[in-house]
Structures are given as structure tokens and as C-alpha cells.
Amino acid sequence: MEPGRFGPYGGRYIPETLMSAILELEAAYDRLKGDATFQEELNTLYTNYASRPSLLTFAENVTEDLGGAKVYLKREDLNHTGSHKINNVLGQCLLAKHMGKKRVIAETGAGQHGVATATVAALMGLECEIFMGKVDCQRQALNVYRMRLLGATVHPVESGTQTLKDAVSETMREWTKRIDDTHYVLGSVMGPHPFPTMVRDFQKIIGREVRTQILAAEGKLPDYIIACVGGGSNAIGIFHEFIGEPSVHLVGCEAAGKGINTKKHAATLTRGSEGVFHGMKSIFCQNEDGQIDEVYSISAGLDYPGIGPEHAQLFATKRATYVPITDAEAVDAFTYLSRKEGIICAIESAHALAYTMKLAPTLDKEKIIVVNLSGRGDKDVAAIARYQGETLYE
Amino acid sequence: MNDRIQNAFSNGKAFIPFVTCADPDISLTEELVLAMVDSGADLVELGLPFSDPIAEGPVIQQADERALASGFKIHDLFTLIERLRNHTQIPLVCMTYLNPVYRYQKDRFLMSAKQAGLDGMIIPDLPYEEQGEIKGSCKTHEIKLISMISPTSRERIITVSKNSEGFLYCVSSLGVTGMRASLTDNAKEMVELAKAHSNTPCAVGFGIHTPEQAHLIASYADGIIVGSAIMNIIAEKGSESVQPVSRYVQQMKQAIMV
């Protein structure tokens, strides 16, 4: 198989102007991924800056309440900056430094990836510019300020639907303007090769830790691993270690918004079709003319009309299954976890928990579910209050 | 065989205007193309509106948005070409992102396009390495797949140039489409290298909008491509844009003839 392909999916469908940058990145990554010094630097950052390994918490109250399988939570919410995004950003910024780049640019939806990029840019002394849909800037005003506080410039994107997909398009456009000294820190396992592979490699530490932790706690592998999917980086991060373990079921939860039978959803694998967009062949929400759909989710981080190519392939080969979760189900799960375990998780991660709440009661008590709690929910508190009819003054 | 594209470059330097289909509506696009042909255009690029045109600056992004809001569908492109072919044998190439072609199904798209009278395709998100996606189908349907090179292509210039067909689209400068106040002369070296290896003419696009820029670039290139400047007139004048666009095309054609 040619590099950068997952079955028919993947590839690099980008303007000629970006090809040299992509080839340069691929060569640098190929060189450094096997380099002991680079890996050691990265591992030190994971341990001493990001606070890895993240905990695997047994959710005792949830397990008891649901009355079925044991539920464990992989606590990516406890990482520095509050989500799994830091794993990838540390890797890419370190790579950018090794490549001699002085400036990083990135898209962000909910702001998690933007905050992580601004944070690591501050740490490593890189100039940083973040592109964020204007609508998302309003939804996540606190994160916008947080990025500025960290020294980044935030550009509100006013084109198209003013959300994540437009932020990605605008960051790609920005990259074509200034390539020599600039690295694009793409935030998910999507876009042109080598991003889907490289970002997965930086995220697969999540699954590797889970293997060690669950073997220590239970002496066996989990039966189910459940994660939310937008572009799909936290899901690939926790899935990858277990793809070769047929007894481990992998479940991705996509955003069904107001329902998959409405136009207000972002359920790419449930409702989408094959296409080529944002540099990759994958599955997208689009119309019969190949125009990309406007998608919707209460979660700005899942509000994206496509999915990473490796997920498209896991879906096509049925190695993983993907289920739609509505806003209402996610908000219920968000509240439920807060009350049962004292953990306020990201609304993205609440999609994974919502499916766990359906699945666990149907399984025997000796079965084990690991849920990837990809981020913490502080950023979502105001939006959830609004959803439930309350206005907060932050 | 299909040699309309070659004809475009047989009478001196070619002027190649770009127009987004169906901005503000498809009947105006037809009028505009015919008027541009009368005003000296040698080849016309028809932009297929796309929801997320990642290589375009704001002017063409907004043109695409207006076109889609007007209800543009892919089959309207084929109808437009058929109607144009009742009046003109000007070479016509379609500038489109890959996804509409892919989703419509490439053979269905290319067969309809060929039957209507299309000569070539320019796909800005299909670099040389991924051309296999559609190259065979283009050959089957006798539609030229036009390649692009840019100032960052470096050693790739030779490979891409050697394999070009129709003409070679040379991107003048970094960045997306749109009018640039000043254009550096980086394109010259790239075009000269490309011409040394290509059997096809080399046309330069991106950023060009003044007669002076066109004149300068025409001293080393075989053709000049202009999009945003034309779409800017259309954005301003709407249904009254045929005359100003014609005048602009005349002016630009003249600038590259002298």
C-alpha cells in the first residue's frame, strides 16, 4: 500500500503550492520518528509538561448505577490544557522546531486545539496564529481570550459557515501565503498525508497507556473502547493499540446534533458519502453535487463535515463501529457524570459517555468498557447552561 | 482530436479570462463569455462553484457563494457549454475542485462535459502525484487535464512540465487567487525552466490584474490568466457587468499584444 493510504482513503489532495511543504514535512517526520533523541525529548515533555501518563479511573458509581459492565474513564481531561490535544501539539511543535520553523498556525473549533497550540508555542518560543470560525469565537469566548493571554493572535474566520471547516480552509490558505518559516499544526487525524498518520502516532500513547493500566487493574484487555469522533484524533489515539486485538470492540460516537433525520447534525459516517476534501479522500456530509454540507452539533469540536481517513477505513472494514449521539443525549451524559463521579467532562467526550450509558446495562458485570474522556468541560459550562435555559455571566 | 486549446496559443500571447459560472446567474455567464470572446479572449476558464474553495481568495469565494445561492447545479455547466457551442469554438476549460467531479462520478461528469464541448479541466486540489485519480478518464473522454506549477515546486517543475497537456498553469506567486498590488518577478525563472521541459504552452495566473503586470509577464509567458479582477467587476456591477468586463478584456488583450 502506498504511504498515506488507509485502503482507498487518505492521499494528499492539495494545491501545488503546498506540495513542497507537505513533502518536506513527510521527510522530516520520517527522519525524526525513529530518532532516539527526538523521542526522548517528546517523552520528557509528555511526562514533565503534559502530566502523562493520564489516569485510568474506575467509575465505581457509574458502574453500580448502570448495573452492567465495569466502566473505566481514560482521563485525558487531566492533561495540561485540559484535553488530549496537547499530545499532538507537543509532537508537532517539537518537529517544527527541529525543522527550523519559527511560526506555527492552526485551526480550532472549540478552542481546545488552539489553546494547546498557543500554549506549546509559548513554551517553545514560536510565533503563533490561530484561525477560528467567528461563530465558534462567540461560542467559546473564554478560549479566545486564553489564546491571546498565551501570546497568540486569533483570527476570526468570516467565510462560509464560520465554523471548524472554514477555520481549516482558512489555515490552509494562510499556509500557501507563507510556507518557508511556517508549520501548520493540524489538530486532528485528517488532512493530507502525512497528517493522519503523524497525528495518530502522536496520539497513540493514549491506547498504549490504557493497555498497561487495564492489565494492572483487571488482568485482561477491555471488551469495549468508546470515544467521540469529530476528525477523530482522540478516538484513533485510544483505538490504535487495540486494532490488532479482535476481542476489543471499538466504538466511535459521532455528533447527531438535533437528530440524524434532521439537517442539523454532523454524523459523517452515518449520513455521509465518499469524497475528497481538505486534502484527503474520506467520507463527508455533502449533497449529490459534491457541495459540502453545513453541519451542526452543540459541540464545536465535533461540528465538522468529514472524518479522518483511517476511521473511514475502520468503518468500511467493520473493524470499528460508529454510532450517532444527539445533543440531548450528550447533555444528559454531561450532567450525569458531573453528579455521579464529580467529573465535568467536555461536551465532546460526553457523546462517548452517552453511548456507554446505553451499552453498559446490556452487558454482563465482568465485561469492561473504557471510555476516552478526551477533555474537561469547563469551556462548556456556559453553553450547557444556555442549552438548559439559563444565562450565565462569566 | 482536440486541438482547440492549441489554437488559443497560435496567434501570439493568449489572454485567458476566468469566470465563475452562475454568478449572479447562468444566463449572464453565457453573455459574459460571448462578450469576452468578442473582446479578444483566446480561451475561457469556467469556474465550477464550490462550497469550500481552498485555493481561492475572498473575491472568488464570494462569487462561489453567490452562484450556489442562485441554485447552480452541475448539469447547468453542461447546458451552458452546449449553448456557448452554438456560437463559438473558443477553447473552454473547467476550473473545479475534485470533490464535485468525484461525487458526480468522474466518467459521468467527463462524458457530459465532452459531449457539451469542454476541452480541458483544471483541478487545483489535484497535484501531480494524485492525477491518477482522473487521468485515465480524461484520456478516455478526450479532455485535457491541465497541470499546475508554483514558485514552491522547485525540482517538481521538471516532472510536472514534462507530463503537461493542453497548457501548463504557472501560479505566479505564493498564496491564494486574488489581485496583488505588486507581483515579484519570481515567476520568470519558473516559467523559463518549465518551458525548457514542457511541450505545451505556459500560461501564468494568480494575482494579475493590471495591463502593466500582464504586459510584463507576457514578455516571457505564453498566456495570461485573470480571474479575480473580472469577478470583482461582476460583484460590483452584477447584470450591468457585460460592458465593463468587455472593455477590461480588450484592454488586457491589447497589453499583451504590444
CATH number at residue A129: 3.40.50.1100
Residue A291 to residue B100, Cβ atoms within 8 A: yes
**Is the per-residue pLDDT at B258 higher than 90?**
no
Task: Quote the minimal CA–CA distance from A278 to chain B in Å.
Answer: 8
Among A152, A179, A199, residue at a domain's last position: A199
**What are the b/e assignments for A221-238, b being 16+ CB within 10 Å?**
bbbbbbbbbbbbbbbbbb
In a domain, A393, yes or no: no
Q: Which three cell numbers stand for residue A185?
A: 499544526
What pLDDT is attached to residue B165?
A: 96
Nearest to B114 by CA among B92, B135, B86: B92
**For residue A230, how far is the Cα from the chain centroid?**
6
Are B120 and B143 within 8 A, CB to CB? yes
- The size of the A-B interface in CB pairs under 8 A is 115
Task: Quote the minimal CA–CA distance from A152 to chain B in Å.
Answer: 22
Residue A177 to residue B175, Cβ atoms within 8 A: yes
Residues A193 and A227 in one domain: no
Task: For CA atoms A76, A109, B123, B107, give the dihedral sign.
Answer: positive
Residues A165 and A133 in one domain: yes
Residue A11 to residue B98, Cβ atoms within 8 A: no
From chain A, pick out residues whose CB is under 8 angstroms from the CB of B54. Answer: 15, 169, 172-173, 278
What is the number of domains present in chain A? Answer: 2
- Domain carrying residue A306: 51-82+204-387
Query: Any idea where the domains of chain B sit in the sequence?
Result: 4-257
Q: Which residues are paired to A6 by β-bridges?
A: A9
pLDDT by 10s per residue, chain A, length 394: 678 999 999 999 999 999 999 999 999 999 999 999 999 999 999 999 999 999 999 999 999 999 999 999 999 999 999 999 999 999 999 999 999 999 999 999 989 999 999 999 999 999 999 999 999 998 888 899 999 999 999 999 999 889 999 999 999 999 999 999 999 999 999 999 999 999 999 999 999 999 999 999 999 999 999 999 999 999 999 999 999 999 999 999 999 999 999 999 999 999 999 999 999 999 999 999 999 999 999 998 899 999 999 999 999 999 999 999 999 999 999 999 999 999 999 999 999 999 999 999 999 999 999 999 999 999 899 889 999 998 876 5
Residues A293 and A361 in one domain: yes
Are A264 and A258 within 8 A, CB to CB? yes
- B4-257 — its CATH code? 3.20.20.70
Q: What is the DSSP-derived secondary structure letter of residue B40?
A: T
Give the active site residues of B.
Answer: 45, 56
Omega before residue A194 within 30° of 0, cis: yes
**For residue A345, how far is the Cα from the chain centroid?**
14
CA distance B16 to B115: 23
What pLDDT is attached to residue B185?
A: 66
How many C-beta atoms surround the C-beta of residue A390 within 10 A?
9
Are B182 and B147 within 8 A, CB to CB? no
CA distance B181 to B187: 16
Residues A208 and A339 in one domain: yes
ipTM of the complex: 0.95
In a domain, A268, yes or no: yes
From chain B, pick out residues whose CB is under 8 angstroms from the CB of A15. Answer: 54-55, 124-125, 127, 148, 150
Residues A330 and A342 in one domain: yes
How many C-beta atoms surround the C-beta of residue B99 within 10 A?
26
Q: How far apart are the first and last CA of chain A?
A: 52
Residue B103 to residue A12, Cβ atoms within 8 A: no
What pLDDT is attached to residue A358?
A: 98
Nearest to A357 by CA among A331, A385, A319: A331
Residues A175 and A275 in one domain: no
Q: Which three cell numbers stand for residue B172?
A: 505566479
Among A157, A184, A199, residue at a domain's last position: A199
Residues A101 and A145 in one domain: yes
Residue A17 to residue B150, Cβ atoms within 8 A: yes
How many C-beta atoms surround the C-beta of residue B230 within 10 A?
26
From chain A, pick out residues whose CB is under 8 angstroms from the CB of B100. Answer: 289-291
Residues A77 and A88 in one domain: no
- Provide the mean pLDDT of chain B: 95
Q: Which residues are paired to B95 by β-bridges?
A: B47, B122
Task: Give the residue from chain B lying closest to A274, CA to CA.
Answer: B103
In a domain, A67, yes or no: yes
Are A240 and A87 within 8 A, CB to CB? no
- Amino acid type, A221: L
Residue by residue, what is the 3-state secondary structure of A205-229? HHHHHHHHHHHHHHCCCCCEEEEEC
Among A150, A168, A199, residue at a domain's last position: A199
Sorted by sequence, the CB contacts under 8 Å of residue B6 that are 6+ apart come out as none
Alpha helices (runs of H) in chain A, residue ranges in sequence order: 16-32, 36-48, 60-66, 85-98, 112-124, 134-139, 141-149, 164-177, 195-203, 205-218, 233-239, 268-271, 309-316, 327-341, 347-359, 381-387
Task: Quote the minimal CA–CA distance from B127 to chain A in Å.
Answer: 5
Residue A276 to residue B128, Cβ atoms within 8 A: no
Q: Which of A12, A21, A159 sits opposite B61 (nearest CB)?
A: A159
Instruction: Encode pLDDT of B185-232 as tens digits.
Output: 679 999 999 999 998 999 999 999 999 999 999 999 999 999 999 999
Give the active site residues of A.
Answer: 85, 107, 374
Residues A208 and A344 in one domain: yes
CA distance A170 to B190: 27
Residues A363 and A245 in one domain: yes
pLDDT band at B67 (very low <50, low <70, confident <90, very high): very high
Residues A132 and A246 in one domain: no
Task: For CA atoms A319, A262, B63, B145, give the dihedral sign.
Answer: positive
Task: Give the residue from chain B lying closest to A282, CA to CA.
Answer: B99
Residues A165 and A73 in one domain: no
